[in-house]
Amino acid sequence: MRTQVGIIGAGPAGLLLSHLLHLRGIHSVVLERRGREYVESRVRAGVLEQGTVDTLVESGAGERLLREGLPHHGIELRFGGAGHRIAFEKLVPGRAITVYGQQEVVKDLIAARLAAGGDVRFEVTDVVPHDMDTDRPYLTFGGERLDCDFIAGCDGFHGVSRPSIPAGVLTEYEREYPFAWLGVLAAVPPSTEELIYARTGRGFALHSMRSPEISRFYLQVPVDADVEDWPDERVWAELRARLETVPGFTLATGEILEKSVTPMRSFVAEPMRYGRLLLAGDAAHIVPPTGAKGLNLAVADVRLLTAALAEWYASGSADLLDGYSAACLRRVWRAQHFSWWMTTLLHTFDGEDAYGERLQRSYLDYVTSSDAAAATLAENYVGMPY
């Protein structure tokens, strides 16, 4: 078998790359180790930047997003017994976020690829990239071989793409945080119209949503927390304690559909290219979810990679391919800093002294009273322009 671009991973990065390449007349094959039902149901991020929404709509895969997504024009920072709204419409006019689950994005992209006759293969075993440092790379999987011009590693942090790069090529930067998030999906209408980021002495909490009927919550928990230690009653009690801190706010409760614990980590691998293997999305970088940047960074990577490959096929020029890693990493490090900043601003740290807590409170007061400081938060949150 032969294709122009072999893509490892059928998450948002791999599927969107395949679809954007198709729109440029470039053939690809997507290989995914999980089944279609699994990739369409795994709950991940749900906050889409303005640029991500625009990209999906322009690609033709955004019809349901526009119909069912929930546009938000602000977020609330809740601390010290009061709520403070960061108003996007005032601070970054014309730009917003849209709440729409990652699994819904994946469903839309799979449907778009299959409708266009795309080659997306699920439950593919033993994928291995070969000869990435030559002009004849290829992939083996399940006893088969796929020759290609380029390989795109879009298979996430635990995938095979990045570990296939020889030792010593990549420089890896990493930071682990001393806490985790307990994520909760509940069949309950949201108690708020916009996301609430709450900083309390008990720890951080986030009230988000996935639809008018489904809410998403996060609680800061110890890094070694076991989901079995968090029965539903304890979850709701802790969410009420951290969110019902302003007059008149009552948290709606209901059936919990899913619970999981996610460690908090920052990671970047440089460069994002090794010969004819190009990394995109979580295969190259991950961020703590506080800033809602993971999926959005993957989309930004894919936009740049599509343009670079399209230029190579159209003219033979490798200029954009040669600049791919540096171009991606400029945005990646901006998002890394923003995600680190949001995380350290809103979470409690074991052993933190009173001085550190006062610094957090000082900056929270500043960012909610200064338009200049609030605009910096808003600009980064809705996504820096492409």
3-state SS class at 58 = helix
Q: How many CB atoms lie within 10 A of CB 345?
A: 20
Q: Which of 207, 285, 293, 347 is catalytic?
A: 293
Q: Which of 129, 274, 289, 324 is catalytic?
A: 289
Task: Compute the distance between CA of residue 256 and CA of residue 253 in angstroms, rounded to an integer.
Answer: 9
Task: Compute the distance between CA of residue 238 and CA of residue 220 in angstroms, rounded to an integer.
Answer: 10
Q: In the annotation, is 38 catalytic?
A: no
Task: Compute the distance between CA of residue 222 and CA of residue 182 in angstroms, rounded to an integer.
Answer: 9
Dihedral over Cα of 264, 269, 274, 280: its sign: positive
φ and ψ at residue 19, rounded to 5 degrees: -70, -45
Q: Which residues contact 52 (CB under 8 A, 6 or more apart)?
A: 295, 296, 299, 383
3-state SS class at 51 = helix
Q: In the annotation, is 289 catalytic?
A: yes
Q: Which of 197, 218, 274, 324 is catalytic?
A: 197
Give 204's strand partners. Answer: 199
Task: Name residue 292's amino acid.
Answer: A
Q: Which of 19, 72, 73, 259 is catalytic?
A: 72
Is there a contact between 127 and 75 (Cβ–Cβ < 8 Å)?
no
Residue appearing with tokens 């990679």: 305
**Best CA proximity match to 306, nearest among 13, 51, 3, 110:** 13
Task: Name residue 276's amino acid.
Answer: R
Task: Compute the distance between CA of residue 260 and CA of residue 197 in angstroms, rounded to an integer.
Answer: 19
Q: In the annotation, is 197 catalytic?
A: yes
Catalytic residue positions? 72, 197, 289, 293, 381
